[in-house]
Structure 1
């Protein structure tokens, strides 16, 4: 069979909303017209893609299997149309991990290649960025990716950045020239986010037998440093290369034996050949050489 892209788009948008009314509104169709497109697609495929029970809509197992390939087919079709029309738009890049300031790493790459057309999108975290990539709303994501890349996406680790301990100037360990992770067992590690969002920090605590306190709201670096200054019984982590104001009332102490490393990755749709994506990847890898460290 030949895949009808209009029917496939109707399915993908409906799968995103799991609601025919909202999907019809996004596609500027009547709900009846949308239902007909989905029904024709199901008839052509010979399988049901949705279960409809009352007002609830769920993907069937066949629908779950079809969703990612359908998204990739639509993204490829959109790219083909843009290529034929020679439509050149900026690389839409999602960025997350803002407490660790990913922008300073991107600045290094962009300073070397100011001609790279990049449009930044600031999302709340990797899950939202992955959803946007799959939906074709963005072209790439930059931040920490835990585990293997999600289905249909490719990942490249572009920097492994050494981390350091940061604490208020009144903390008993603030005068140390360097610390081992084991030296932190007498204190409590603090991180302003839910534990499920902080796999790196959670694993760091578990590996070295540290007590971790997770929670609160990430209100940015100035608040983060003020909180540590005012709580001299807590310690946290920051990239060793992250500039910290000298008047912040905190101390940054290098960690050794071992040095914890934070991985920054670039994430994109498998098979994407956007020239700007290739240029950004190349510059991120070049600028990482000075900051990259072995295990």
Structure 2
């Protein structure tokens, strides 16, 4: 159904005169009459009756009017959903409890007037494809994984180095430690079932294993963070890595420990990716906000990150 004819019908119905509807729509009265006639032929009914006072709706016209208004409202919402500056800023994070999700919560608190759509895509290749198609406006990723340079039209900036922590149950040999060095982790089983070969986070942990001779196991299905916490709490031989900013809640009886890792501290390099031609005004606001993330006070610890990570 042609929306111009529907819009003309609504204008004429609300004005009560074709001449006033023509003035509102900035067209001729003849154009209004032609559009109404086209709509009437399409619907197979008369919508107006001409009277000395103007144009009155017929019974069919009265029945059609609320639906015509809804058609126009839906059309306006459809346009607004994709119009830059009016639709929400679409941002990809890997998961709901990780650092990037926390950064977006902080951004929302700082800029509550900006509408957000937060999505969770799988890996960096999926995210880059979504950036290039316009499906999303930005993505938090570690870049660039070995052999996978970013396309020329994708921009990136490193926004956060997140220290890793060791998570253990109360019975683990390192559970009482206030901190643990990388050297002390050699020989301990670190279980991370969420590592998927070929992803950017798999590349990160592969390099971490190679650099420090660690034992990271990705065996078994990934049932999510709750199941991981249950298993680590009940298995003294297992530990896992968690980002310092990862938000976790576990039952009091689990007795889990989050232990800083030092000498050096492995950090996960979070970067923001976006398409260089993306005109969404809120994207600039997001980048400016992320540039103000405070750095920890005191002397900077010795850190490690893969040599392929984007420079900070």
TM-score w.r.t. the length of structure 1 is 0.64
Shift of residue 272, structure 1, vs aligned partner: 2.7
Q: 1:112 aligns with which of 110, 113, 123?
A: 110
State the distance in 2 between where 1:269 and 1:278 align.
12
Superposition map of 1:119-268 within 5 A: 119-147=117-145, 148-192=149-193, 193-197=195-199, 198-245=202-249, 247=252, 248-268=254-274
- Separation in 2 of the partners of 1:243 and 1:205? 25
- Deviation of residue 87 (structure 1)? 6.1
CA RMSD, 1 decimal:
2.7
**C-alpha distance 106-213 of structure 1, shift in aligned 2 (>3 A):** same
> What corresponds to 1:95 in structure 2?
93
8 Å contact 1:158–1:265 — kept in the other structure? yes
Q: Which runs of 5+ in 2 are unaligned?
A: 1-78, 304-312
Which structure's CA Rg is the greater one? 2
Whole-Å separation in 1 of the counterparts to 2:155 and 2:190: 33
> Offset at 1:226?
1.0
| 1:167/1:235 contact within 8 Å kept | yes
Shift of 1:260: 0.8
The Cα shift of 1:125 comes to 2.5
Q: Which runs of 5+ in 1 are unaligned?
A: 1-80
SS at 2:143 equivalent: coil
Please state how far the C-alpha of 1:97 moved relative to its aligned partner.
Answer: 4.6
Deviates more, 1:188-197 or 1:254-263: 188-197
How far off is 1:217 after superposition?
3.6
Tell me, yes or no, if the aligned pair for 2:92 and 2:140 is still in contact at 8 Å. Answer: yes
TM-score after normalising by structure 2: 0.61
Residues matched between the structures, number: 213
Separation (CA, whole Å) in 1 of partners of 2:173 and 2:102: 31
